[in-house]
Amino acid sequence: MPIENAHFSQAEFDRRIALTRASMADKGIDVLFITNPSNMNYLTGYDGWSFYVHQGVILTMDGPPIWWGRLMDGNGAKRTVWMEDDKIITYADRYIQAPDIHPMEDLASHLRIMGFGDQRVGVEMETYFFTARAFAVLAEGLPNATIVDATTLVNWVRLIKSNEELKFMRRAARISELVIGRAIELAEPGMKKHDLVGELYKTSVQGEEDSWGDYPAIVPMLPSGIDATAPHLTWNGEALKKNEATFIEQSGCYRRYHAPLCRSIYFGKPPKDMVDAAEALTAGLNAGIEVARAGNRACDIARALDVELAKVGIERPNRCGYAVGLSYPPDWGEHTVSLRAFDETVLEPGMTFHFMPGLWMDTWGIETTETILIREDGPAETLCNVERKLFVKT
């Protein structure tokens, strides 16, 4: 696909590749092979639901990146990557899910032909998409190479968003607003959860005007009552009930960029301990956003939250956020910075986080979250605009 049809400018891709190569050089990596589909997209623009088979991007210290993958996905690469077709290489379908042959044999052959058979090869060892067998076969095919763990090399490059990326995140944030607004509007006791989720999916895909919705990296989280003591339960066929809290966590997604958002709804009169906790949670979010400034640290956000929660006797053992942006299933986190008391990462303009201090108590749970952007000056910007509170519907 010619660069003029890509979703980002050539200058943007050049910037990303230059930063990645600088990190490669710092780690002494001669050639990088990445399998994380978010990182593949980041460097090449590739966008296809093919991450269930072995695929990847090869980046050397000069020239455009090379997309490598299954033969039938080669046309998808031609339709989505910014490089010319000669930078797309494929392997035969006989390699797919076969007990006696593996795609990494093909990759190792290409790397040897390219002259990297005895070089330092960086791979992403801790991803969902690079299996133990893949590593073993690749290592066997490159017996003279030194394989280096480069798991989050590109992830850290992605941490600071460009203005081009932020435009996409703002579109995703608008979709998030629409989804949560629709949830608050429609949810009522007696409504089946799967019916509500169906409406939310419709809203998230329809989007608004030019901001159509892509599929998010995580499905809607929608637990109620005692189920809301667990953060990662989805939905079922049960009805929403009186005297229970339900939280709805979802993200709009635009061209793979996310801006997660969550709000909680209580049907009836909430108990005092929940009201106090919700108010402290809002105060903690406000305090965290206030200190989320360039030059401060990730831990400062977490500590500001903890101070407010401690006023009502709540101590959270979990992190309260993480870097977010471009992603594919099964996670919209970037796997770099975490908002927690011992993360000393210095905040820089352009970093984006899902600030998500959920409260999962003994008998109930609530969440109020924001996607925040570290600015040049002043406190962080919240990309979404939905009132921060426990929503009560009687």
Judgement on whether residues 280 and 175 belong to the same structural domain of the protein = yes
pLDDT tens-digit profile of 275-323? 999 999 999 999 999 999 999 999 999 999 999 999 999 999 999 999 9
Judgement on whether residues 153 and 248 belong to the same structural domain of the protein = no
Over 90: is that where the pLDDT of 102 sits?
yes
Handedness of CA 127, 128, 132, 133 (dihedral sign): negative
Judgement on whether residues 272 and 134 belong to the same structural domain of the protein = no
Q: What is the pLDDT of residue 1?
A: 64
Judgement on whether residues 323 and 203 belong to the same structural domain of the protein = yes
DSSP 270-326: --HHHHHHHHHHHHHHHHHHHH--TTSBHHHHHHHHHHHHHTTT----S--EEEESB
- Range of the structural domain that residue 36 is part of: 3-157
- Domain harbouring 37, CATH code: 3.40.350.10
Confidence tier at 326 by pLDDT (50, 70, 90): very high
Residues 292/379, Cβ–Cβ less than 8 Å: yes
Q: Number of C-alpha atoms within 13 angstroms, CB side, residue 298?
A: 22
CA end-to-end span of the chain: 54
Among 97, 130, 157, the domain-final residue is: 157
Judgement on whether residues 172 and 59 belong to the same structural domain of the protein = no
Q: What is the pLDDT of residue 4?
A: 76
Residues 251/326, Cβ–Cβ less than 8 Å: no
In 3D space, the residue among 364, 383, 372 whose CA is nearest the CA of residue 292 turns out to be 372
Among 127, 157, 187, the domain-final residue is: 157
Over 70: is that where the pLDDT of 53 sits?
yes
Separation of alpha carbons 124 and 351, rounded Å: 22
Pair of tokens at residue 241: 């009930």
Distances (CA, A) of 307 to 60, 209, 302, 311, 385: 47, 41, 9, 7, 25
In 3D space, the residue among 89, 32, 74, 128 whose CA is nearest the CA of residue 328 turns out to be 128
Partner residues linked to 208 by β-bridges: 211
Judgement on whether residues 72 and 217 belong to the same structural domain of the protein = no
In 3D space, the residue among 370, 389, 372 whose CA is nearest the CA of residue 380 turns out to be 372
Q: What is the pLDDT of residue 211?
A: 87
Least confident interval from 3-17, 103-117, 153-167: 3-17
Judgement on whether residues 104 and 182 belong to the same structural domain of the protein = no
Give the chain's domain count. Answer: 2
Judgement on whether residues 341 and 197 belong to the same structural domain of the protein = yes
Separation of alpha carbons 177 and 298, rounded Å: 25
Among 114, 140, 157, the domain-final residue is: 157
Judgement on whether residues 86 and 153 belong to the same structural domain of the protein = yes
Judgement on whether residues 38 and 170 belong to the same structural domain of the protein = no
Over 80: is that where the pLDDT of 333 sits?
yes
Judgement on whether residues 122 and 271 belong to the same structural domain of the protein = no
- Domain harbouring 237, CATH code: 3.90.230.10
Judgement on whether residues 86 and 210 belong to the same structural domain of the protein = no
